[in-house]
Structure 1
Amino acid sequence: MRARLRRLVVTAVAVLTAATTLPAAAADRHDRQEQHPTHGGLSAVVRYTEYGVPHIVARGYADLGFGTGWAQAADQVCVLADGFVTVRGERSRYFGPDAAPDFSLSSASRNLTSDLYFQGVRDAGTVERLLARPAPAGPSRESKELMRGFAAGYNAWLRQHRVTDPACAGADWVRPITALDVAVRGYALAVLGGQGRAVDGITAAQPPTSATAGSVDPADAARAARELFASDAADMGSNAVAFSGGTTANGRGLLLGNPHYPWQGGRRFWQSQQTIPGELNVAGGSLLGSATVSIGHNAHVAWSHTVATGVPFSVHQLTLDPADPTAYLVDGRSERMTKRTVSVAVGGGERVTRTQWWTRYGPVVTSLGAALPLPWTATTAYALNDPNATNLRASDTALGFSRARGTADVRRALARTQGLPWVNTIAADSRGHTLFTQSQVLPRVTDELARRCSTPLGRATYPASGVAVLDGSRGDCSLGRDADAVEAGIFGPARMPTLTDQEYVENSNDSAWLANADRPLTGYERVFGNVGTQRSMRTRGALEDVAALADRGRLTVRDLQGQQFANRVPAGDLAAADVARACAALPGGTATGSDGTVVDVSAACPVLADWDRTTDTDSRGALLFDRFWRKLTASVPGERLWKVPFSASDPVATPNTLDTSVAGFATALADTVAELRAAGIALDSRLGEHQFVVRGGERVAVPGGTESLGVWNKVEPVWDPAHGGYTEVTTGSSYIQAVGWDGGGCPVVARTLLTYSQSSDPGSAHYRDQTRLFSTEKWVASRFCEKDIMASPALEVVRVRER
């Protein structure tokens, strides 16, 4: 298949090496020339090794973008094309207005609302203005060259190949793209946590009629805001840990990155190595449509990201002008909203036109998610401030990481570019240094500002979730500016929670407080996250594991690999023995289900007692406990679940001791046994028989477990008892990397795994190959150094050209 999909295979490896290894000075000259289109067109050399991993070599940034766009299209053309339809505001035209997008680039519930939002971005020229800003406020020339090259490479692949993926073969929506399309896709990812989560509320916002009324109960809003961010953990999360040289066998750092991202759609990772001789050499995972490496390593430093707890937006409550509901008061003066009329095609020649309303703070919104309405009444409206709506700097942050020579350079890149919208950074380097930092773009909402300027609604939401609702009628409630911030209204680098050179730094999507359990981070503003509150089961399990590893010492990359696939279930360690004993003590071995049916649960008791407390694919009892634990935690509030409550003085070990007498315990057990029996699933069946994905008609068992179980190797599958249990994984472990250094001829020691494989095309040889590895807990030995690339038995060399 690879041979059919690629042209111009170069068989003379010596010719390739001579052609692509430029002296540094020549590379610099070529890079400067790339400010203008090249007469011969763009080109790159792509060298494929095992599992379809491309190693892209280019003479400058535009050529590197070209090779990256070409190689991504070869593996993911349909997924990429679908995303470009989204950011062009054309989903309704091709797929109908009422269908739902895949949530990769926004939280829009319908194609129509997605189109209205992105067409509005296009009509307003938002991204063009950001592209025109000089660096560092805007993207650098190198980043823009990468975007230009990516579009050219994608288009060249389309011209030179016939699409065979049945997901889009012959589809008229698979079309050439522009550099602006690439930039808008990057913009969509930047605003994903702000405007992107409010697309429905932005596009639905309309001035009130005489009948419009409504108010928001502060207690309900606080609860809804908490739930809004709790739902994020199920969709996207991550673990990452960096170990210092003091804990390792050779005094050099170690890093394990385990991001939890969607397994389908446009937020998939794609693996590659990018090289500009004398300038850049980096390997790792890129989010689709991106020309830079998002999570990866070079010869000196490795890094990963975890989704952060910072709230990347603020809400401003508007006091409306009594004479005009489309005007609002600031310090007693009336300001008119800006009306944007947006029109999109919905197919059959029909168009839909809607208006959007914008203020000095941002767009008027009528909801944040389905659970948090913000009604526009005759007296009040709400505007969303998203500081990432002026942030097109993430590519430069990634380039800074890619060129870094240590964790100090990673920090400098973050301080210079300030481009990460919603993630933490964890890093280790070859000299034994470690770094954790929550350096993300956040609205400059200090606790003092929140105390002074919160509305009654904000006084409920800000302590509960970090969502600030500020009084938009007061000029003295503006967000202000930090001296070291790249622009007004965001926090500067000095404010970011940061921990350096500790034995370990770790994050599993809780706040920065316990990046190291022995060195708690405090003193940051509430908008960054909380302090002194109960940690998730996954955080608790992760901290137990990494602290034990650090204490043991003499660590190597093999220890990181063991951590990734330990598949230990912290919830099982805490509760399974108590569940088994309480099960065995039930009178008559029965319990009553939620529908009133009496169920014989006696056969479940020994299964739970004998379970090995893991979610390995051959584990017996894991499925039974998983289904029980989901039902129990969904029906019993957390504070009633444990006999020993949470204590901030012992945050890793508490709460503990399951209260099996709580109402709902026996019901959850009865419902679980009844559910499995109704599906024809044995209570002691192996997990892998019922937790799997189907690839090309083959059932591939999937190890790992859900969020509530606290498993490091997180997966979130879909329960479908009619088809044998859990089937498709929706999100979870994705691009995994375990990286260290040995100081040898090739100093980097890296093991990687892309759980869902490189290609989404069922006809590709790389549609399921790494998924099989994931199933059997095997890894790919990274080929980073030149001698290792050239020694690959699967080596295939391709010279790709624009024309």
Structure 2
Amino acid sequence: MPLRSRLRHLAVAGIALLTATASLPPAAAAQSHGDHRPHDGKLSAVIRYTEYGIPHIVAKDYANLGFGNGWAQAADQVCTLASGYATVRGERSRWFGADGVPDGSLSSATKNITSDLYFRGVRDSGTVERLLKTPAPAGPSRDVKETMRGFAAGYNAWLKQNRITDPACAGAPWVRPVTELDVASQGFALSVLGGQGRGVDGITAAQPPTAASPGAKTATDPAEAARELFRTDNGAMGSNAVAFSGATTANGRGLLLGNPHYPWQGGRRFWQSQQTIPGELNVMGGSLLGSTTVSIGHTSSVAWSHTVATGTTLNLHQLTVDPADPTAYLVDGKAEKMTRRTVTVPVKDGQPVTRTQWWTRYGPIVTSLGAGLPLPWTKTTAYALNDPNAVNLRASDTALGFSKARSTAEMTAVLRRTQGLPWINTIAADSSGHSLYTQSQVLPRITDDLAQRCSTPLGRATYPSSGLAVLDGSRSDCALGSDPDAVQPGIFGPSRMPALKDAPYAENSNDSAWLTNADRPLTGYERVFGTIGTPRSMRTRGAIQDVSAMAAQGGLKVADLQKQQFADRVPAADLAAADTAKACAALPVGGAADLSEACGVLARWDRKVNTDSRGALLFDRFWRKLLASATPADLWKVPFDPADPVRTPNTLNTAAPAFAKALTDAVSELRAAGIALDSPLGEHQFVVRNGQRIPVPGGTESLGIWNKVEGVWDAAAGGYAEVSTGSSYIQAVGWDGSRCPVARTLLTYSQSSNPNSSHFSDQTELFSGSRWVTERFCEKDILTSPKLRVVFVRG
């Protein structure tokens, strides 16, 4: 029998063997695996690998599916996963030193020691164990907990049965077996990323004031500090997504294009797979590393993506400190003692560090949020951080519900039931032609009325600017309250969430819900969700121009989504490049700062950021320098108009002093680095993988490009020599009437972090050439893959 036929036979036989139990009558099934919790040593799955190392995991139940998932993720990403588990165990200082810097995947901690003090405190206090024991729907479902148990067993089985070849952790003592608690703790860390995760340094540094305490520091401009802290367009993480309804498509079925902008390194990478339990579940997409469910993906009839939302996921309570005791605070005139949480962290080559954290009815005492917003604990005042996602371990149930959904209506029902998404919007389309946008987040229940009644002076500055409420913690009538349809106290219920159904297009690029569809603006939501009638980012403006034109054109197919992803149009250039070239030509010529060559380069530039675009790098460096020195009022002659939010502001103010200086500085910088002003972008925006330089298309946030890429500038290395964040797990999904979705995908940084893997850079090379992976979702497509490889994995 030929090898290909043998593999197909093995694949079919293996699946039949694994899933036979699933098809037994209920009584026989109960006899075969008792309480549905088989011993870890008996867990197993079939993994079929197709092109680019994409695994198609088949198992008979959730524990076994988790086993196959944990095994396959470990095979590709063992070092990254192990680093994350060291983080949530509070062991980074033990293995990497107290002053080392975490990769930022699981919190904003600036040093290993503060990360450890926080996560060891979470572990010691039993926080995640309590959430695991909380009955659904407030806590995770049994099915999700089974996937976590199985994931830990699969990861451990891979460690036991394989040799690590990744030099990042080969032979490292910190690569150790994990438990269900470790897996759940990583999910908890992702949940609080926008809340307690922002305040880790301030939580672990908070100590009662003493006579020797330094004077109180306050933010120079708290409104601006809060605005900067909660910006969604700062390059750290973002996304685009658009859903088109059947009214705009060639066949009346929906279309979805998802383009999340996540880190290219570390624990917030995506990893692609298909997960199948015959008769129960069949989903394909990208999972955040360590997740037991698919984060972004599609079933046979519905597809979804997420974008980082503008909802402010935490609030502060300003406490009145008891004059007789700085570790007590007053509520309605009565003193309440803070709770001490003393944490000890082992340190590599040093003495263990012990520190006490202080907790209140509202949450932990915090003395700062980021570097720009100090929150001093004085003898009269302290601040407590409320994060409703600190009691939310439901995101996996939301994802699991999506993975079984057949329509956008079912997805809406899943969101109502689980209420698990902490900091993201959802955009979806289905095969019946429906589209959906919803900002269904877990947010503190801060109504505008509550903020009006209960804001402290600091809150009156920060709430309008950023949605960060600072409430008077000394009054019980300033409590957050509850909505009757909310699954937990103190959050908004589903009926309060901004949503748009069945619009011709529904798009989000990390601005608020207001212009999800420019013809159907969303209003009426509370400030904590986001703003209304305010300037949109350049990326939002460009995206709305593009997708509204696509919707108006109609007759859309998956191929049109693919074109949009790699159109690489620069909206900022469409507004400013011609004026820049014209004004450049009027500047003095000659001398060291001669700009005459630059004028011609900008005039000839195609206003795109393809790898072969000449002039893109010059405009990029000029534009960054101009925005860093010019205020919005100085930048544009025509200001923002809320009645025309997509086209304003506009008309570059080339007479402003910052203009000539930015252009001169950009030209001088490139010349000093030996970079020709008209060099193709790909020669100076690239990544290096195993010694090979791979050109990268796309561009930075401020240019407004859909295909966002945040390069790491290194003039000595020749330009942008690495990517920090940007286009990551991309999917273009539609339906043609057959049982198989029409899907094209791309994992820009490839499936494995191991430089010795054949899937370390293969999809990165596709990304360089604006090429896609043709997805294999249906059995006939999997079994006919020329790269089919079948693996039976067992405990």
Letter in 2 for 1:605: C
After superposition, the C-alpha distances for 1:720-745 in whole angstroms (9 at most, x for unaligned) are: 0101111110000000000000112x
2:608 maps to 614
1:372 and 1:10 map into 2 onto residues whose CA distance is 59
Number of the residue aligned with 1:774: 767
Aligned partner of 1:740 in structure 2 is 734
- Matching residue of 1:646: 640
Q: State the secondary structure of the residue aligned to 1:615.
A: coil
Q: List aligned pairs for 1:362-401, cutoff 5 A.
A: 362-401=363-402
The residue aligned with 2:776 is: 783
1:663 to partner: Cα distance? 1.7
- Tell me, yes or no, if the aligned pair for 2:286 and 2:295 is still in contact at 8 Å: yes
Q: CA deviation at 1:26?
A: 3.3
Equivalent of 1:749 in 742, 756, 759: 742
Q: 1:701 aligns with which of 665, 684, 695?
A: 695
Q: Deviations over 1:488-515 (max 9, x none)?
A: 0000000000000000000000000000
Equivalent positions of 1:113-512 (< 5 A) are: 113-212=114-213, 214-215=215-216, 220-230=221-231, 233-348=234-349, 350-512=351-513
Task: Tell me by how many angstroms 1:589 deviates.
Answer: 5.6
Gaps of 5+ in 2: none
In the TM superposition, residue 15 of structure 1 has moved relative to its aligned partner by 1.8
User: What do residues 404-457 of structure 1 show as CA deviations (whole Å, max 9, x unaligned)?
Assistant: 010001111001000000000000000000000000000000000000000000
Moved more, 347-356 or 239-248: 347-356
Instruction: Indicate yes or no: 2:720 matched with 1:726.
Output: yes
User: How much does 1:20 deviate?
Assistant: 4.0
How far is the alpha carbon of 1:233 from its aligned partner? 3.3
**Residue 221 (structure 1) shift:** 1.0
**Partner letter of residue 777 of structure 1?**
S
Query: Which residue of 681, 691, 702 corresponds with 2:685?
Result: 691
How far apart are residue 41 of structure 1 and its match?
1.1
Shifted more, 213-222 versus 80-89: the winner is 213-222
What SS does the aligned partner of 2:66 have?
helix
Deviation for aligned residue 1:37: 2.6
| Aligned-pair CA distance for 1:27 | 9.1
- Number of residue-to-residue matches in the alignment: 788
* Shift of residue 601, structure 1, vs aligned partner: 1.2
How far apart are the structure 2 equivalents of 1:34 and 1:328? 48
Work out the CA distance in 2 between the residues paired with 1:25 and 1:137: 31
C-alpha deviation, 1:640, in angstroms:
1.6
1:662 aligns with 2:656: yes
Q: CA deviation at 1:587?
A: 2.4
Distance 2:503 2:616 in 1: 35
1:26 aligned partner, one-letter code: L
SS at match of 2:336: strand
Provide the residue aligned with 1:594 in structure 2: none
Report the CA distance shift for 1:27/1:776 in structure 2 as closer, same or farther (over 3 A).
Answer: farther
Counterpart AA for 2:349: G
Instruction: Indicate conservation of the 8 Å contact 2:218/2:373, yes or no.
Output: no
**For 2:491 and 2:450, how far apart are their aligned partners in 1?**
13
Residue by residue over 1:333-373, the C-alpha shift from the partner in whole angstroms, topping out at 9 and shown as x without a partner, is 00000011100100236211000000000000000001100
Letter in 2 for 1:533: T
Q: Report the Cα offset of residue 65 of structure 1.
A: 0.2
Cα pair distance change 1:33/1:645, threshold 3 Å: farther
Contact kept in structure 2, 1:10 and 1:799, CA below 8 Å: no
Judge which range, 167-176 or 633-642, deviates more: 633-642
Q: Work out the CA distance in 2 between the residues paired with 1:557 and 1:23.
A: 38
Task: Provide the secondary structure at the position in 1 that maps to 2:716.
Answer: helix
Structure 1 residues 544 and 589: alpha-carbon distance in aligned structure 2, compared to 1, 3 A threshold: farther
Offset at 1:600? 1.1
Q: Deviations for 1:586-643, whole angstroms, at most 9, x for unmatched residues?
A: 12367xxxxxxx5111110010001001000000000000000000011101122001
The farther-off stretch of 762-771 and 15-24 is 15-24
| Residues 65 and 13 of structure 1: CA distance in aligned 2, closer, same or farther (over 3 Å) | closer
Structure 2 CA distance for partners of 1:626 and 1:468, relative to 1, 3 Å = same
Find the partner of 2:666 among 659, 664, 672. Answer: 672
Q: 1:218–1:457: 8 Å Cα contact kept in structure 2?
A: no
Helix, strand or coil for the counterpart of 1:588? coil
The answer on whether the counterparts of 1:615 and 1:687 sit within 8 Å (CA) in structure 2 is yes
Report the counterpart of residue 16 of structure 1 in structure 2: 14
Partner residue of 1:716? 710
Deviation (angstroms), 1:572: 0.4
Question: 1:48-96 CA distances to partner (integer Å, 9 max, x unpaired)?
Answer: 0000000000000000000000000000000000000000000001000
Q: Distance in 2 between matches of 1:476 and 1:288?
A: 42
Partner in structure 2 of residue 582 of structure 1: 583
Tell me the CA shift for residue 559 of structure 1: 0.1
Match of 1:792 in 2: 785
Aligned equivalents of 2:25 and 2:244: distance in 1? Answer: 35
Q: Which amino acid in 2 is paired with 1:458?
A: G
Q: Which residue of 1 aligns with 2:628?
A: 634
Superposition map of 1:516-665 within 5 A: 516-588=517-589, 599-665=593-659
- 1 CA distance for matches of 2:326 and 2:423? 34
Structure 1 residues 658, 407: CA separation in 2 closer, same or farther (over 3 Å shift)? same
State how far apart, in whole Å, the 2-side matches of 1:510 and 1:463 are. Answer: 16
CA distance in 1, matches of 2:770, 2:18: 36
Q: 1:500 and 1:564 mapped to 2: Cα distance? A: 23
d(CA) in 2 for partners of 1:14, 1:190:
38
User: In 2, are the aligned partners of 1:344 and 1:353 still within 8 Å (CA)?
Assistant: yes
> Is the 1:27–1:276 contact (alpha carbons within 8 Å) kept by the matching residues of 2?
no
Are the structure 2 counterparts of residues 781 and 34 from structure 1 closer, same or farther at C-alpha, using a change threshold of 3 Å? farther
Cα pair 1:446 1:527 within 8 Å, conserved: yes
Does the Cα contact within 8 Å between 1:320 and 1:378 map onto a contact in 2?
yes
Mapped contact 1:44–1:57 kept (Cα < 8 A): yes
Match of 2:47 in 1: 46
Aligned match of 1:79: 80
Change (3 A) 1:720 1:349: closer
SS at match of 2:713: strand
- Is the contact made by 2:70 and 2:150 (CA closer than 8 Å) also made in structure 1? yes
> Relative to 1, partners in 2 of residues 1:406 and 1:589: Cα closer, same or farther, differing over 3 Å?
farther
- For the 8 Å contact 2:219–2:374, the answer to whether it is kept is no
Secondary structure at the aligned position of 2:374 is classed as coil
The CA distance in 2 between the partners of 1:643 and 1:317, in whole Å, is 42
1:97 is matched with which residue? 98
Equivalent residues of 1:22, 1:278 under 8 A apart: no
Structure 1 gaps, min length 5: 591-597
CA contact 2:15–2:59 (8 Å) conserved in 1: no
d(CA) in 2 for partners of 1:196 and 1:232?
Answer: 19
Report the counterpart of residue 758 of structure 1 in structure 2.
Answer: 751
